[in-house]
Amino acid sequence: MTENKQKLFFITLLRHGESVGNAESRWQGQADFPLTDRGREQARALAARWLREKVQFDHVISSPLSRARETAEIIASELNLKVEHEPLWLERDNGEFSGLTAQEVRQNFSHPDFYSPYDPVGSDGEGDWELFLRAGQALHSLLKREPARYLIVSHGGLLNQFMHAVVGVAPQANNAGTRFRFGNTAFAQLVYFPNQHRWAIDRINDHAHWPDTD
C-alpha cells in the first residue's frame, strides 16, 4: 500500500452463506440457525475466489450468530486470518417472528395496512428506525478504528441499513424506498476517504463465485 492508501478504509460487507433458516424460509432474526452444506460450499467457493484474486484483508469482524460466524471462520481460515466477534453486527431482533416460517407469520399475526419506521417488528423487535440506528453505531464503531482493509460478515437486514447509513437515506414507511440486495455470500465493497468524508461504492451484491445465489 502507498502512504496515501493507508489512510483509507477499504470495507467489504459480506452476507453469510445459506443457513437452515434460509432453506426453510424462516424469519431468522437473532435465532441461531447454522449453515447448510450449501452455505458452507458457498463460503469455500468465495474463499477460493479471493485466493485466486489475491484479495487481502487486515481484519475480519463477524456477527456472533453461527451462520455468520461459520462463514467468517471458513474464509478466515483459508486467508490465514483471525475472526473478531462483534454484537453490533447481529441481525435484526424480529421479536415474536423469530424462527417462524413465513407462513406461520402470515397466519398468526395481524399485518396493518400502514406502519411507520418507528413501529416494532414482530410485536417487540427492532423496527426499521431502531435497526438503522444500530447500523449507524456499527458504522461509527468501525470508523473509530485505524484505516485498514476490513471484511465484515453479517446479515441482510443489518447490512441493508448500514448501506442506508452510508448513503444518508433514512428508513421509509411501509418498507418503501431503496433496498440493497445481498444474496447469500454476496458482498459489497466500499472505500471511505476520511479526510474528505467521501464514500465510493465499488461493488454491490457480487456473487460471481456462486452465480445462482438468491
**Could you list the active site residues?**
16, 91
Strand partners, 59: 150
Instruction: List C-alpha distances in Å: 180 to 93, 186, 207.
Output: 19, 11, 14
3-state secondary structure string across the chain: CCCCHHHCEEEEEEECCCEHHHHCCECCCCCCCCECHHHHHHHHHHHHHHHHCCCCCCEEEECCCHHHHHHHHHHHHHHCCCEEECHHHCCCCCHHHCCCEHHHHHHHCCCCCCCCCCCCCCCCCCCHHHHHHHHHHHHHHHHCCCCCEEEEEECHHHHHHHHHHHHCCCCCHHHCCCCCCCCCCCEEEEEEECCCCEEEEEEEEECCCCCCCC
Strand partners, 190: 11, 201
